[in-house]
Structure 1
């Protein structure tokens, strides 16, 4: 027989876990068993059904074992969240604690144990690691599976209000301590007058890093003496500052929402003593604050209007999770039922909107099921919302159309009045009407150079913002930065390096490779788009997206930065051939096309040649490192970081790898970059990391894009990719899969596929046209001969019956010719030629489509 049982309830991945601790009634047996049941909601029966169960037996104890608390924490070995429960055993005056992890196979693992001479009270938290954290005698203590020993923090707290994890800081604790008037926090000293009033202040302590963080970004210090419950909804770091969203309850029963440490909303709660607050994200993109009281009452507050949505009584427990599998969270309310021993016998699943399931609803045959009613109501509301949005959109479009008609009528009347009065009508500019040109038609910004004129740098001073050069390995990199006021068509731009005229024995034009630098909108990684090497005419045009497309890529950043990067053009040439000359002096020419409009019509594009400036280079400059990349030596105090990044990425080879791990998270990849590879984030683009490790890997640029905790893409710009992969594979889990990605971007492959399909369509059309032409050419001579013969015969006849007979013969001949034309075939040579052309075009388009599919 079993004596009284202890029970705790926990939600995990949409399931409800019931932990029950049972003790043998017979004292001689001395066995305590911990049972766990996995319960899942079933729509058909409207009940929670048991999926599986587990058992953990503890032998040899004195039966004084009890459950302290339970929570879902991340295991540092795999990075996967697992349910864990803290157990306590009392022997004489010593308390023994041990932590159990529950795996998916319902097997318990004892991962931590420690002994204390005192009992843990309410301020006990289970954090990631797993880590057990508690407060005793105003001191903070913790132990984790990494430390395996009890450690004491250097901060004293009078209470723990919240504990959780913050990115780049690990486990943190938000607590209250007595006001420290002499210490500074966030650059500000707490005044004595404020300290005399508050007597306390908030403090945030990072457990792993063992340092005190600023607490004023979470809650103002003035609330430290009146706060009873705190829940941190969101944390983040932007521009070296904390960005937080916190909800707290005061002792005057006020629910307050704080944004970055400032109060944004207040809601007065009902009478009672609040003991906890939870947050649920519902299907209508709304947040619900669920406040539990000590009297077993529950109050729900909506964030959008910060008003009380519902009040409930006699609630045993409140859980927040996705219990019905819709992808959003619902609230599970468990009510006290004296007549039943089952904890899940009386419940309600709701989001106080579209979802509502209750255990006391009985389904009858004459009426539809509850889930059908819920689904019908959900679909009806969605349809009404869609109709309302469509109606509002139609009204806005009609209003815009009417405004446009009014503008056209007004301009027409003005033009008519000017015509009658004999005055010239001046059309308004595009800026006055809020119009944007579809083409970059800036006038009088670039001046074409005549062949008779000499190349001087005095004209384009207002066009060229910066000209720079770098020497990277065996390559000379020259960059030209255009001012924002210049509008160029990027598919008609290239750079040329022309040597001075005194080099008469060699070609004055240096063979180079033109490139354009741009930012990737997904994770702000620097990328280089290039073209083929220049042919003999020394002119190449960049076939890239237009300026409008580039502006779309930079919508997440300030416009100035995107414009500067989008208008940076780069030329790369081998340095070894140039070292034959002692002094090298080159002129940098930029070639572009400008769209010109006249009377509203697009005229022919004019080719413009612009002198950007001159560069000089000699062996002394290369030896002294005058034009070397300074980023290779210092990343902290240097102003031309972007130019160095462009130079490195223009020369280095780009490799991308798709990394997938099914059993373990990919957290070690970032640690590998920071520790083993000695990488540091670049200030201008912190998503990219620069390798400062000595050796062949020095200067490598890494970009780690973690899509999910189990999937990511690693992009590196280097020349020793195998050494990087060897070091990376050493820290990855054995079941991890690494796949090399092609360097072509999807945008380029999409454009190539469109051109290939267009070529295939033209091939089809030309082939069928040639076949039809051959058939018609064979039919025309015989048809004309028959018609000529019939006309001659008819002209010589005088009898009417003979004429009718002749016309009948002509009709029969035409029918025969028509039948022959319908069954006409082409020659074998023409058919083979058509099949070969069509097969070649289809093979090209299929190949590009396959590359696009696997990219």
Structure 2
């Protein structure tokens, strides 16, 4: 700094240290000239919004006819005590060279000279201070350093063109990251990058450990290709995992870019707003955001967030940027010192910010930021008392919640035991209220109530709805399946399975978390063959006569029967296997949950929820190790030998994706060849419309189903275990499809199936409303005859004949009055409130079902 007075600013423990070196002054009575190194310790006053001086110190430097200059200042760890202290390096010009002093500043503002050395040249390039304290610099493409312990200048056996970073790495000590001309040894041991990589660029990164005097592979920090453009590097994090050094670093380049590297691989880039970036620092603010502060040669500053690598702020004409906790909030803030030609004080124009709530600037008064110092003690006492009261109330609430949770846990466990006893036919006796710490709500506390008084489900009854109970192990999943009889499927809906542990575990819930899936397997001809196209359109429906209730009911029964025949007859439950194996041997009860349906008989349809015991499964580690429940998918005479249970187990643990493939120019016969050829698929022997992929790698085990609607349109369904496998299959498929081919993901199912479901739902909705109106019509028709007298003729006499006599006129009047009353009754027809609620609920459920299908159809 070519001024009358030099000023260097350093942040240390939330304070600012302003070092100032005055010009040489002649001492009276002496021939020597003396320079004085002064320091001012400044702290930020939040009330005054200014930096105020706390203390000061000075150190006299004797120099004969020489110029004195501050080379650099930084904080470094003293090796003798392990304490971080401010360090200042002063240079004095002599006749035969340059003399250098390394000074430490103590908390008492006293300077201590810890190192002194002489050089015959001037330090200009890449001067750094590091732990010791020690000094490191570059001269004539060589690396030199001197330690305060020996004060001897040492030279490292490396050639380098620049130093981009100096810092500490765990297990290596102080490491210098530099750039040198490419050195091409005969062997490339330990370097994962080839010799040609460095030969092309002509330069490379290298790391040198000062303490151990060992070379580190520069490719661990970043690729050698960046050595021609990187100007500064900041290593953010280093750690060792299984003896491997992992490094996270950020670098700035001459191309005005900021690049984030992870283990030597670039992970992100940000374009900088100014040219010639020269230095990069890091800061962590109160919101735990990692910020990169980039300084430019023009005096500009910009801040980049690590989270999105975007420039968030930028300033111009900045003299210096410092990072520390200046206001004592416990987190770091940025202090920007701006150039001010009108004032020589370096702290005249500044800004403190953490890009959040903290924002101070010279000349701006922040009245609402912090309370005044007056009355803080009294407010603190009141705050502490209030916090103590809230803490005590919070502890009491926590105890009550713990007691409540314990009670809920006991109730849930007792309910699970009661459920197990219910499905197994045992009488469950509830514990006494006194034992559970409860109070009975009834006056008569007598014998304990038996939960189950009805006979349990017998094996003969199970045979009416269960054909087979099986289990399989697929990877880390346990699949339990129940094959239901066809007659049972026609009478139930909303089928699901649950697994309940038979053992008495007091610390865990006996109900096992699982996910259900209903699977339909058809033993039909292979769908890989091209299906015949439909020549003639299907027969049109007869026009629906809304006046015929019987026809409406018949048609609905036909549709319902056809839908129920298409229902799946195998339901599976999938759960994680590893938690069950922790118990070595586990016995689980398999419960089937269904909704029993009643047929239409003129009234609204009703359903009843039922829970049935399917049986028990035994799981042991020995059986799994012996492969007792493993699936078997081997090739046998161009077929896959997997059983129906094996196929269902694979489909249960897989993710299903359906794609509609349409080609306007070419037929889709290549899909068949692709499945049987490149994918090495083999049809299942038990289910020909699905094929199993035997291709080695991640694709092995994927199940495909290919259905052709016509030679130019088909639906491909994949059952794969992960999205990675899906992407690999689609990438392979796109290479064999025709160029002008449209592939669409069917998110909610096939349009044909959804259309059929929509028709049935609309018919159900219409029949629900029509059945109610029909019942009201019948009631109104019955009311029409209430006024007819017994024995009255069906045909009334003509009106003209009634007018001939007085009795006829009176009879006509009575007839007219009866018709008037009948009209009034038909207009005032009412309905019971309970019946109306039931009808409204049934109509709303039918409308909701049709609306959901319409939404799914719009998404497909």
- State the TM-score bracket (shorter-chain normalisation): 0.3 to 0.5
User: TM-score, normalised to structure 2's length?
Assistant: 0.44
Q: Which has the greater radius of gyration?
A: 2
